Structures are given as structure tokens and as C-alpha cells.
A and B are shown apart, each in its own frame.
Chain A
Amino acid sequence: MFGPIYPDDRLLRAPQQLAAYECDALTSFRSRPLAVVLPVDEAEVIETVRVCHQQRIPFVARGSGTSLSGGSLPLEDGIVIALNRLNRILEINPRNRIARVQPGVFNLKVTAAASPYGLYYAPDPSSQQVCTIGGNIAFNSGGAHCLKHGMTSNHVLGLKVVLPDGEIAELGGPSLEGSGPDVTGLFVGSEGLFGIALEITLRLLPKPQAYRTVMAAYPNLGQAGDTVARVIAAGLLPGAMEIMDRLAIKAAEAAVGASYPAGAGAVLIVELDGDQADVDSEFELLRDVIADSRPFEFKIAADADERARIWKGRKGAFSSVGRLSPDYVVQDGVVPRGRLGEALSEIERLSSAAKLNVANVFHAGDGNLHPLILFDGTEPGALEKAEELAGRILEMCIRMGGSITGEHGVGVEKREFLPRMFTEADMTVFRRLRDTIDPDRLANRGKMLSCEEAVRSVAPAPPPDDISWSRMDATFTPEEIRELRECVLEQRVLRICGAGTKPALTASSREAAILQTRKLCGMIDYEPTEFVFTASAGTPLSEIEKHLDREGQFLPFDPVLVARGSTLGGAVASGMAGPGRLRYGGPRDFVIGVKLVTGLGEVVSGGGRVVKNAAGFDLPKLMVGSCGTLGVLVELTLKVFPRPQEFRTLIVDCRSLEAALNTLHTAGCSPITFEAIDLKPPGFLMLRLGGRPGAVETRTAAARQLLGGGEVLSEADESAVWKEATEFEWVPDGWSLWKVPLSPTLIPELETALEGSGCRRRYSVGGNLGWLAADGGTTDLLETLSALSLNAVPLFGAPGPDPAAPRRVSQFSARIKRALDPHGRFPEI
């Protein structure tokens, strides 16, 4: 069947060949596939998937087989598509700070390739030297440095994928900014159920200039856990905060000899990273906090070698446990950071009740636990006992408001626990998404969702047209979810809006009733120590900022139009962000939980309330940029960060576009941390720096030296520069405004095309976003953009017959729309 595609040496069918593919790093699940194919290029993968689709053969895509949740477990009646030979780095583009890679590339190879340009790929799973980018995408892998830098999905910009029926879809693109629902975000972490990523565009960051890695030893886990809370309470956001307990230290020490303090009940590793100014000032604070926590030993890594050894011990900790016990299962649950201590005591209680040893290694900063349950598989019933304990630990995580998986994914191993974390309605929508994309359930069948239900989850038939619908021009302003649901079910066509600050976004050519969310309003829950809040979608951003400001925190994605009354729901649904998005990311990088009403009136939740969470499909990201086309946002949970205490802005007039773009590149690849870099063409650059007092001055001086001077603004003058940007004060009343996702290297071409057009421009987010303002007719402008294959999203301007530029909607997005809004109540994507 696959003979026509593969020569004999790349179509494995012999038992000795297949045996080696029986399992991944979760060895208690094994299954020998029918065949393993080793494609060498994209075309072979696509052809294979097409044959599988025609013949209804289930397939499992496999990278290095390092999944700890059985994510690449083969099926006896299916094939394995081993992607190890698609291991080329196709492009490193330092000017746009992106890498384009094939799925079989080792994670660490991306950093190695980016390194000559002063850049790196941030996500660092412990197996980073061997795990592949394709696997990282499927399971939204994390790592020790997620706390500050985010998970895989925060660093994937674009994907070319083959869907389970062999269709090709292009999701996202090379820009940090996107348009339309964030389907890239949905694909990442979908555990292979939506198909295979063939080509991946990754975001690269400037390598941190400095690290400071410290180890503090405590007699017990509780004290180490408390210190984590103190570090956070002091307003610090370290790159990583890790804890290992006595057993884990013993194993890691045997493996690496990392000189972890002897006799410690727990070791806390904290790493600060960033530019020198930042790390120095944060270190002073960190040292004081740790000193107050009374560790019995405190060590600072003296050099890069010592730092490497500390991390080698930590990153190899899981496997080192193989030295202590013949078998183990590792869990990956997450609890709110503040409940870490409680969770650890509970694990201790549960494990002693089960008479099993548990070694703990975890990402303390994220509340992501990794209890390693040790057992001897040769003892009858031992595995079952260990699994039972694992189950109890997962139940505890759910009870505490956490997640069953932070970074390993659900896989086969935690499948039965997913329905305990989500409601039946949520699960129905998950299944419907899967069945709409892959009706035959061929792609990685049996992972995340079980395949036992014989009936496909398809959308019910649309309501008959003879129902007397309410008036099409009616406006509804529901005050609670029940009312909102009824409103959705009673209308044929609905447009959703918040405060209406971006009117062109919700304009529609179809006559439609309007649903306003502004009465679904208010902060629901805010835990400053967790860096997380939940609020109703209609809550004005200004109100949220007031809450956060009191705690010294802020919305790092730098929302726009706050002064004009923009709502949280509007910010997320539009996916719009201001210049500050450069440093930490956009709304997509901060929305961690969502409650929405689908086009079928279902109330559905996705994500959760913990900062790290890989359970279920990433609905929170999908809703970013969806502009009311997929559902009505009801509640949103976001993570936040400590606010920089002071800002400076450096104004550099480079006089020409070319000089300005060169300066932008220099700044962008430098280790100096910039909060924002905006350009007013041709050559006027505005660069924002933030940090603690003292550090911000050092950093500004370093930036001036790097860029060869520039005027420094502070306080009111400084903030005015950025308020002008986020409130679009530079756009005259009555003009249209368009958002255009870009790459820095596209700016010269666009500038040439727009010469003499009378349109005003501002380039934001380090050249990843263009704002174009025009007076009156915009047809010419749209034609220009379309000729350059650029998308444009309108914010202001009279809604025309078709305000959105004709946009190619991928097969993937179209099917997602069909799963969430099958009757087309909401506008087209």
C-alpha cells in the first residue's frame, strides 16, 4: 500500500524494526504498529496521509519518542510516520527574528543555529537535546523557563500542516501579529489529532545577556515552597524556579555530580535572566528574599560550567530516577502556586498511605508538579498501585483548581481524567472539533480523547427557517449567561460587540441583531500572588488596570483604546495589542482560560486558571482574534506580570527608512531588553525601556551607546509618546484605520508602494505590525496591500459592503467555524 511511496529501506515491516517503535518514554504502554514509514520530505508525508485517509488506516506521527504521556504510542492497526528525516532548519532570519524548520529538528538545534546571530529559541523542555519541534508542537511542551518566557505555543508563529484527510492548510505566518482566529494557537497542543505539522515558523528571542543561578537548600519541601511564594511576592519574575526533593537530589547527584547541597530535604533553584542591568538589580532583591527564608546553604553558580551542571542535574532528573527504582510513572499536574505547600503535603500523605516512594521534581514557579512514583514492575499489582496513586494526585490537582497536565499532555495516560477536569459540554465541543477536522479519527487516534463513542459528534441540524426570528436590527444587552444563551438561540444572525471602540471590526454586510457584552461586567477573581485574574468579558480594561495597578501588576500585552472604554472581551476577540506587545507577547500569550457561548448556545470552558496547562484543546487562544465569529466571550482568565517601576524612551531620528530599519535590527537582536520599538516613517524611532530605578538608567545608557545616541524622555513626556500610540491619537477623526501584520523586511516594499498615497503610517512591535490610516476611500489602499499579499484588519472607518480585505480562510479555520457555529449565527471568519 505504501510501496509506491517508499523504497524498502524506508518502509519498515520486519519485527525487529517495528519492535523498536513499540513505545515512547512511557514504557508501560506498548503496541506494535503495522508498519513504520520514514519519509524524507513533505510530499511523502502528504502522500502517506492521503493513502491513510483513502484506506482508513490510522496513523501516528512520531518524532524522537520522548513523550511521557504515551503521546506517540502506535496502534496495532495503524502505521507510524517517523519524521526524523525531516530534520532541516530551512531558514534563520535574524532581521525578522524567526526560524523556519521541519518537524524532525531537535529543539536544541534551533538555538544552535540561531546562536551566531545572538538569538535563541526559548522553550526548553528537559529533553531539549533530543525532543523534536514537531513533538513540542503536538504537546505544547514547556520547560523550566516557561515562567517568564512561556510555552511552545507562545513561540510558534506559523504552521504548514497536512490535515488528516491530506488537505494542506497554512496557519498563522511569519509575523508576531496575526489576523483572524488564532488557529495556530489551537493547533499547538492538539496532540496530533488535527494532523501533522510539516513546516514551522518559530519566534526567536535575543539571548539573555546575563544569568544568575542560585541554589538554596532547605531541610524540607515546605520551606522551599514558601520561598517561592516570597520571591513572587517581592515582585520578581525569575526565568525559572525549580524545586527538587531529597530523593530527586540523590538521583541527580548520582547522575551528574552537580554539587547539590548534601543533606538537603529540598533544593530550590532560581535563575534570573535578562540584560545585565536587570539581573544585577533583581539579584540584590532575590538575595535578600532568600536570606530571609533561612536556607541552610546558599550557593551562586560561579560560572557557565557550574550553571550548566546545575541544569544538567535538574533536566536529567526524571531519567536519573531510573537509578533508584526499576520503574516509575511521572505525573504532570498543576496547582495554583499558592497551594504548592498544601499539594506537597497531600502527595506525601497519599504516597505513604499507598506505601510507595515518590520523588518530587517540579517547576515551582508555575505550580507544575512532577511527582515520580517509584515502583518495581516485577511485583504483581505494583504498576496498578502506582497508577492508582497517580490518579489520586491528579484528582487533587483538579480539586485545587489546577490542571491534570502542565506540559506533557493528556496522551493515552491521562485520558480518563480529562472529563473530570472539563464539563460534559466542554468535552462535547472538544469531540466535535476533533470529528469535524477528522471524521474518521485517523490522526493519533486514542490520544487525549477516547474513541469509544461510536457516534461521531456532529452538529445538530439547523433550526427550520419558519421560526419567527426577532427583529434583525434589535440590540440585546444580556446581564447574565442564561440570558445571553437564550439570545443566541433565538437569533438567526448576531453581531457581537463590547464597547464598540473598534466599530469596523464588527461591521457586517449581513443584516444582524447586535449583542452587546458590556453588562457582563466585573472582576470575578483576582489573586495577585498567582499573577492571574478572571473577569467578565464586558469589563472595561480601565477597570482591570485599576485593580492590577494597586498590586504593582499590569497587562503586559499593552491593550489599545483603554481610555476610550475598550473591554477585556474586545481586546481578546480583536487580538489587538499596543507597542508593548514586543517584549512579552500579545493577548494570545496571556489568555489562559475562557468561557464562551457557541453558536449552538452551549456554555463551554477551555483552558483553566493556572499559568501552565496543556489539557484539552487550547480554546483560549482560538478565541483571540476571532472577532465574534466563533462564539460569544463570557469570562476570561489572564495571567499578568509585575509592572516595570520606571520607563524611559529613547528617540532616535535616523532620517532615512533604511537607517531606521538597520537600527531597529541592531536593537532587536541586542541583549538589551526593550519594552517597545515603534517607527514613524521614514526614520523616526521610538524605543521604550523599563525596569527598576537604577537598572532603567543603566539600560538606557547602554541602549544609547549601542544605537549611537538619541534623546531620552522620561515621566509625562515619555508616557505621552506611548499613549499616542495605544489610543491612536495620531489618527485624525473620521479617518479609517487598518492593522496590517508584517515582518520588518517587508516594510521597505510597503513604504514604496504607499508613497504619495496620503495614508499615514506607524510601524509598531519592532516592525511586526503596521498601522495605516487613510482619509475617505480605502479601495486603493486595500489593493496595494493585497498586491503585497498582506492582510488588513479594519478598526475604524465607515463599514462598507465588505470591510475586511478578502482573506484566504484555510480549510482548517473553516472547519473550526463549522464545529463551533454550524448554523452560521455569527459573522463569517
Chain B
Amino acid sequence: MQHRISVEKYGSPGQAMAEQIQACVHCGFCLPTCPTYEVLGEEMDSPRGRIFLMKEVLEEGLPLHDALTHIDRCLGCLACVPACPSGVQYGELLSLFRNVSETGRRRPPVDRLFRLVTQRTLPFPGRFYIAAKLGKLGAPVRSILPRIFSPMLELLPSKISRPKALPKLIRAEGECRARVAFLKGCVQTVLDPEINAATLRVLSRNGVEIVIVADQGCCGALAIHTGDLDQARSLARRNLESFPRDVDAIITNAAGCGSGMKEYPLIFRGLPEEERAREFAGKVRDVTEFLYELGLVSPQAASRSLRLAYHDACHLANAQGVRTAPRELLKAIPNVELLEVPDGEFCCGSAGTYNIEQPEIATVLGKQKARRILDTGADAVAAGNIGCLVQIRKALDKNGKRISVHHTMEFLDRAYSGRL
């Protein structure tokens, strides 16, 4: 698509954004994959429409403020990326645009407070634990808090754990087949620490030695995706420095973190850290991706036949193209029947902080996802991202259905220990 963006004005991000806009041919192949287009049915709430609006803003034909409603509604699920024949890297464009727009944006005070709370707590397990505890305590007086906070509080699980220290090194069971470094993650360690525990047991069971560096931090994905490039870089720098180089892979079990770390070269484009970022990103693997490449040690059969639906986390399937690996791992458990969720390419509405920022659309998407999952007649649901797990549990609960919803690694862990 032709554009009249004055590239110099925006520096190197300007060039990158212009390239993506130019690659869009406005064919519309992205429309049916876009959850907000499905819900709202409006051109400006589709990837193609948003690209057009970003172009208009960058060309200075449209005030930024006017376009933001529609840009903000984007989940960043990236379902449009694999659907795009002309190869537009929408995620890249969106992150860069959000960074540009955050600098030129005036938010109302409540909004600013809300962003401050999310951006300054979620990436830090210690702070997030305290905030979550406070949230729980504050539940009875929720009505006096600004409304913007209530979806966030609703998502808090009944049990909140104090983040536990993990050992620095975990030995491989039996022969050591690989040595990896592990990203602990932030939100997950508070909301559901069992996921990390299960992941580490499964890795070790598969002959993997795991290094867990103490001074690692948040991956920065949240900051990248909300357009806070400075915070993203500072968080990423810490990891670039602290993670060891002599490992076979850098492992994460959270889809959002994996996609965030794979984007490090992008946020350091043209900066001195770029090369280290590239090397780092080249080693980042989702745990399922890594185990599938390594070759899984056969798990024990489930005690009874289990109909298990697999949910594609957007940041695993769309952002990282990891679709086959988790499915094959789960299929390797005897007695498990793996089910595909119809319209599985649609986001569940979690999308990082989306379900707390755009609760209406997120709720519609959650409902749709719950219905589709129930249609499969599944006994349980597996997914590779904490956000999806929380969102899907909530949506199924609202439906009055108690189906267990767990991380892929938890199912494998239980199979290995004969508890499935």
C-alpha cells in the first residue's frame, strides 16, 4: 500500500513501520482471523483497518487520539500474521506504533494510575504478590475502587502464593541430554507456582539439567506490547547480562515470555546490544518446542481415558508458530485423546493485560472460547500460557462447568508420576 509517511520524523522505528505498512496490500485475508473484527464487525477494528489508521496517523492525516480507541482494542493476538500472504509483521508494527503513541498520548488520571499499577507490579513477583494479596483483602470494598480495577480483581484466584525461591541448579535424572537456562516468569509464580514446579520436574525427567539464575527479571514482554520501550529495554538488558551463554537453550513455559524474548533483537535494533539480543533470542525455546525437538521420554498412560482439548495460546501459536510440538507431546501420553477446539485460532480474550483493559470484548471472547471448548465434550483443557489458563477457567466457571484447565507441562508431569 502506498503511503506518505515522513520516515525521518520517527527515526529507525519510522522506517520499520513504513516497511510494514507498505507490505500490506489491503487484501483483507486477515479479517476473518481477527477476534475484534468477529465481535465488532467494523473495518477499523480489524488488522487491515488498524494498519490503515496507523498509516493515517503517521502521515499526520488523522490525530493520534482519534485512532487510539481502535488501536487499543487490538488484542495483539497476532492471528493475522500467519494469515497474511504478503508477510506483514503486524506485531512489530503494533509494538513500534504503541511506543510512538505512548509518547504522544495524554491519559486520564485513573487510566494513568491503572497503567502504573499494572506496569509496576505485574513484572515483579514480590510486588505483584503484595498487590494481589491487597486485592484479595480489598475485595469487600471493591465498590469504592475505580471501576477500571474490578476486572483485574475478578481474575485473582482463590489462593495466592508467596513467590518461592527456586534452586540454582537442578540435575538431570539419568543421563544428561541437555543443559538449559530457565526463565521463572512473574505473574505465574504468584498465581500458579505449580506450573514451574511441574515444568522443572518434566525437564529433569527428560534428562535436562536446568540452571536458574537468581538475578533474572521479567522478560519485558508486557512492556514491549504496551509500547513502553524504555522499560522493555531495561528489563531485557538485565536478562541479556544475567543469563549464561553456555547453555543449549533458554526455556520458558509462558507463551507471552517466549514471544517477548524472541523479540529482543527488534527492540535493540540499531543499538549496541543488538548482536547479544540476537544470540539470546536464537536460544529461546518454549518448553514444549524444546522437548519435542529433544525427543520426549515416554510418559506413563493416564489411568483412565482422558478427552483433552488443547488450546492454542496466541503468543505460542501465532507469535512463535509453535503448534505441533505441544500437541505431539500430549498425544504421546497413552490413553489421552487430543481434541481440537473449533475456531481454535481465535484468542480467548486474555491477551496479556487485555482482559483487564478491555473487559467487555475480553468477556465476549472468553464466553465464545468456553462454548467451543464445551462443544468438544472435553474432560480437561491444556494450554501453554498462564493468562489463557486464568481466562478460560473464569469463562468456564461462569458457564457453571468445572473442567480442569492446566498447563501442558502439568499434564505431562502427572503422567510421569502416574497421577493422570
Contacts and interface: CB of A to CB of B under 8 A. Distances in A.
Interface residues of B, number: 32
Contacts of A20: 42-44, 46, 49, 52-53, 70
A260 to B, nearest CB: 14
A28 B32 CA distance: 23
Contacts of B69: 16
A127 B87 CA distance: 16
Contact of B2 (A84, A131, A326): A326
A127 B30 CA distance: 10
Contact of B70 (A16, A25, A106, A316): A16
Contact of A24 (B23, B26, B70): B26
State the majority secondary structure of interface residues on A: loop
B25 A23 contact: no
B28 A64 contact: yes
B47 to A, nearest CB: 11
Given A28-B2, A129-B29, A377-B2, A16 B42 contact: no
B66 A15 contact: yes
Interface stretch (A159-167, A284-292, A317-325, A777-785): A317-325
Contacts, number: 110
Interface in A164-189: none
B87 A322 contact: yes
A15 to B, nearest CB: 6
A255 interface: yes
A16 B85 contact: no
A24 B56 CA distance: 16
B32 to A, nearest CB: 5
Interface in A66-87: 66, 82, 84-85, 87
Nearest to A322: B86
A12 B41 CA distance: 13
Interface string B77-115: 000000011111000000000000000000000000000
A23 B29 contact: no
Contact of A322 (B24, B43, B67): B24
A255 B86 contact: yes
A131 B25 CA distance: 15
Contact of A17 (B22, B32, B44, B87): B44
A130 B37 CA distance: 12
Nearest to A313: B85
Contacts of A326: 2, 22-23
Interface in B284-298: none
Contacts of A16: 44, 53, 56, 62, 66-67, 69-70
Interface in A13-52: 14-17, 19-25, 27-28, 38
Which of B25, B52, B66, B67 neighbours the largest number of chain A CB atoms within 10 Å of its CB? B25
Interface in B39-67: 41-44, 46, 49, 52-53, 56, 61-62, 66-67
B1 interface: yes
Interface string A498-533: 000000000000000000000000000000000000
A320 B86 contact: yes
A135 B105 CA distance: 39
B137 interface: no
Nearest to B31: A130
Contacts of B116: none
B36 to A, nearest CB: 13
A630 B31 CA distance: 43
B27 interface: yes
A327 interface: yes
Nearest to B55: A19
Contact of B25 (A14, A25, A85, A130): A25
A17 B49 CA distance: 9
A735 to B, nearest CB: 55
Contact of B85 (A15, A17, A255, A377): A255
A378 interface: yes
A647 interface: no
B29 A254 contact: no
Which of A17, A19, A85, A377 neighbours the largest number of chain B CB atoms within 10 Å of its CB? A19
A113 to B, nearest CB: 12
A597 B291 CA distance: 75
Chain A interface residue bracket vs B: 35 or more
Nearest to B64: A16
A27 B53 CA distance: 14
A42 B70 CA distance: 27
A14 B85 contact: no
A12 B42 contact: yes
A321 to B, nearest CB: 7
Given A255-B85, A322-B87, A19 B27 contact: no
Contacts of B62: 15-16, 19
Contacts of A319: 25, 27, 29, 84-86
A739 to B, nearest CB: 42
A41 to B, nearest CB: 13
Given A16-B70, A20-B52, A326-B22, A318 B27 contact: yes
Given A65-B43, A326-B22, A377-B2, A127 B86 contact: no
A641 interface: no
Nearest to A65: B28
Contact of A129 (B32, B66, B86, B88): B32
Nearest to A83: B41
A328 interface: yes
Contacts of B86: 255, 319-323
Nearest to B68: A16
Interface string A301-325: 0000000000000001111111100
Given A65-B43, A377-B2, A25 B85 contact: no
Contacts of A22: 52
Contacts of A25: 25-28
A793 B22 CA distance: 58
Contacts of B26: 23-25, 27
A712 B87 CA distance: 56
A19 B28 contact: no
B41 A84 contact: yes
B23 to A, nearest CB: 5
B46 to A, nearest CB: 8
A494 B1 CA distance: 57
Given A19-B44, A38-B42, A254 B87 contact: yes
A786 B365 CA distance: 49
B44 to A, nearest CB: 4
A322 B2 contact: no
B85 A320 contact: yes
Contacts of B32: 106, 129-130
Contacts of A127: 27-29
A240 B204 CA distance: 53
Interface string A55-68: 00000000011100
B235 to A, nearest CB: 32
B53 A66 contact: no
10 contacts: A20-B46, A20-B49, A20-B70, A22-B52, A64-B31, A82-B41, A82-B43, A131-B28, A316-B85, A323-B86
Interface of B: 1-2, 22-29, 31-32, 41-44, 46, 49, 52-53, 56, 61-62, 66-67, 69-70, 84-88
Closest 4 CB pairs of A and B: A322-B86, A316-B85, A319-B85, A377-B2
Interface of A: 12, 14-17, 19-25, 27-28, 38, 64-66, 82, 84-85, 87, 106, 127, 129-131, 252, 254-256, 316-323, 326-328, 377-378
Given A12-B42, A82-B43, A377-B2, 8 more contacts: A14-B66, A20-B46, A20-B53, A85-B41, A130-B28, A317-B85, A322-B86, A326-B22
